[in-house]
Structures are given as structure tokens and as C-alpha cells.
A and B are shown apart, each in its own frame.
Chain A
């Protein structure tokens, strides 16, 4: 058998990256940690073992060793997006780190939880500061909500919502 015959169809979609690309820079730990502790009361220990990286307008939490010298598309979990000077926690991060939140937490009943996961805006009165909140229901951490004057707007990304089935992708 000769492995030198070429012409694979997969090859066309598999160009190697050429040229430099936006880099993941190490982000100051204390700043990131204090954002989460000030807003949600999440203790610093929740982030022990994690390092933080920044690329463009996003901050990532990575629980691994120092990165090899390669070019990366993502590093760990995207936990914060920065818009103007505002920081927004991602639903993925809330689901992972929100368990230990002690403030700005909204608790929903079972039916409301499904509505929230489906992306709906709910009327709820909660004892929280306006802004981003951790939304939970029983043991489930549902994700990030935006609370303002009795309205809770679901921040669950569209493709993550309840009932949205990801398209079938072959070869899994």
C-alpha cells in the first residue's frame, strides 16, 4: 500500500493556519475574581486551580497547565464578555461557578424555570440589585439573567435554549 496517493476530500476543509492571529493574554487574577465575589459573593476558592486569559472582548477561565506554544481558538471556558465598560457573565460560567453564589441570585419554581430556559422574560419580584443575576431552580443553576424592576430577562444564548435541538452533525 502506498500512503503517497493524495486527493482526500477532507483535505479541502483542513487548511493549516497561516500567519499570526489574535493571542490569548494572561489576565490579572485578582480583578477577575473580585468581579465575581463583589457581584455574587462567589468565594475566591471557587477559582482555585484556574488561570485567566483575555482575547479581544472576552475573558476565559482555564483549568490546565501553562499553555503550549500554539495558536488557539479557545482556551477553557469563556466566562465574561466585556461590552463598553460593562462586564457580562456568560451562562456557561454561571452554570459552572454559580453554585456558590450568595447574592444577586434569583430562584424560580419549576414552571418558571422552563420558561427561563426557553428564553422568555418573566415577571418576578426578587430582592436583588438591578443587573446580571444568577438564576437557579432547586439544585439546578439555569444561567444568567438580567434583572430590572420586576422583570427577569433570560440571557440564555439562543442555541442553548430549551427545545432547540442542535442540528445533527455527522460522524459523532
Chain B
């Protein structure tokens, strides 16, 4: 089967659908985030200039850099020393929307390999409590490895099933759930071979329970960001729609990063009008992968 067929069901919801399908086969260039826990932005840029590395800073996040087509950032001294972290451009969005502050108590409920954890730590300036939770034993190692390389000193790693994460009160929680990952197709088209409505519905109940638990762990007025790297409404709007008795949606945007509104109906189901406040990011709009982000305020 042609892997792109899995995307056909999004024909009526994705703008410029033909371009959307076509872009799936064009690979993404590498991108990195500057780790300000270890190096200042000017000094890092100077090093890249000296080494002849081609880069362009993101308009909406100066610490994010898109690199030229032939760059292999994972092999550089800057990577070994923890000055940069290789991270897909859109993966930098959820921590920005979470907006953690130094000294707060933050939970990253589904955290390995720690790209977003480490971005949160740097926003916290290594101060406060950052709990990085990851139940999968084999995924603990890359999480620990990244936290060590990046010099994070305020992270405590736990290994709970997020659905039964122990009682505590956090200021903010990031719920970057396991998903069908359709938005990573530009890295590997094969993810699309497994995706479809059935698979998405299978993931949905876990996603709802993780998001509910996250909200229960957040104090009233606190922020919960729910994110996936998939287009499937079953894993996005349908999940968020289930928790609107616990939280309200809040609008957000990043200047210079194009997004589409969340859906209010799909496949015969209708969702709350507020779901428009969620953001869908499509690969052809910003030359990225794909992502879904919802910002919730605990009632």
C-alpha cells in the first residue's frame, strides 16, 4: 500500500491538501536548539560561523536554528559538549506555550528522550522542581543521557505510568503523549503505514487518561499543555474535548509560525466551539513536521 494513502482522510481539513501530500516525501533538514544552560547565544553563533556551519535562526524562537542541508549537528563538538540539542523545529513549540518560570514545580509527564524536558529546564534556568516522568525502561537511558549532557541539575526522573502518577500539586504540566506520529513522516514515511482511524482510536483512551491525570495534578489556574505529533483528530481535538469540565482552553500563537485552528467537528462528531483555540501545524505551512498543541487552564 502507498503510505501516503493514510493521509487521504484529511483531504477536507488540511488547506492546500495536494501540497501537504507532496511535501511528505521531501526530507527535513536538521535543526538544533541552543542550550543556554551551558553557552550564550552569541558565543555559540560565533563558533558555528567559525566552523562554517550554515544556519538560520527561527523568527519565533531565537534559540532554535535551522541548519543547511548537509549539516550533521549530532557529530559536532558543540553537541558533545552539550551546547546544542538536536530537536525538530515544531517540538520546540509546546515548551514555549507551557512557559515555565524559574522556581516553579513542573511535570513533564511523557518525557523521553527529553528534548522538551531540557528546553523546560533552560527556561527555568535550572531552578525549581522539574519532574521528568517516563515509564518505558529502555527509554530512560536516552532521557538520562540528554539531561546529563545538557547539564540539567533541577530535574528528577520518575518511572510511573502517567495515568497513576502520585498525588502532588504542580504549577504546570506538559503532556506530550504517545501518538501515531504521522507528523514525523518527513523523517520516515513508514510511520504512515501503521496509521489510520483504528490505530488512533486505540491510542485515544490512554491519551484521555493521561491528560485527565495531568489536570488533576495541576492547581487551579495552572497551565497544562497537551501535544501530539499527529494529524488525527481522534488523538487531538477528540481527546481535549473530553476534559473541558476540568479546564478551559486558552488562545496562543507564536509570531511568524503559521498554524490552523483546531477542528470543531470530525467524522460526524461535534466538539466544543472552544476547540478552535487549539493549533494544528502542517508541514507545508512552515517547512516542518506536523504537530497539534492545546493550552489548557485548570479550573
Contact = CB atoms under 8 A, between A and B. Distances in A.
A65 B128 contact: yes
Contact of B126 (A14, A63, A168): A63
Interface of A: 1-11, 13-17, 49-50, 61-65, 67-78, 90, 92, 95-96, 113-114, 117, 139-142, 156, 159-163, 165-166, 168-172
Nearest to B113: A169
A60 B233 CA distance: 43
Contact of A67 (B137, B156, B184, B203): B156
Contacts of A92: 148-149, 151
B128 A76 contact: no
Contacts, number: 163
Given A77-B153, A169-B142, A95 B205 contact: no
Interface in B197-223: 201-206, 208-209
Contacts of A5: 201-202, 204-205
Given A7-B202, A67-B156, A171-B181, A74 B136 contact: no
Nearest to A140: B81
A16 B160 contact: yes
Interface stretch (B2-10, B72-80, B247-255, B276-284): B72-80
B32 interface: no
A92 to B, nearest CB: 4
Given A3-B205, A64-B129, A139-B43, A77 B152 contact: yes
A141 B77 CA distance: 12
A74 B242 contact: no
A170 B184 contact: yes
A49 B124 CA distance: 14
Interface residues of B, number: 70
13 contacts: A7-B205, A10-B203, A16-B164, A62-B153, A62-B156, A68-B131, A68-B166, A73-B144, A77-B147, A95-B151, A117-B80, A165-B75, A169-B113
Interface in B169-219: 178-179, 181, 184, 187, 191, 201-206, 208-209
A119 to B, nearest CB: 10
B40 to A, nearest CB: 10
A95 B38 contact: yes
A70 B158 contact: yes
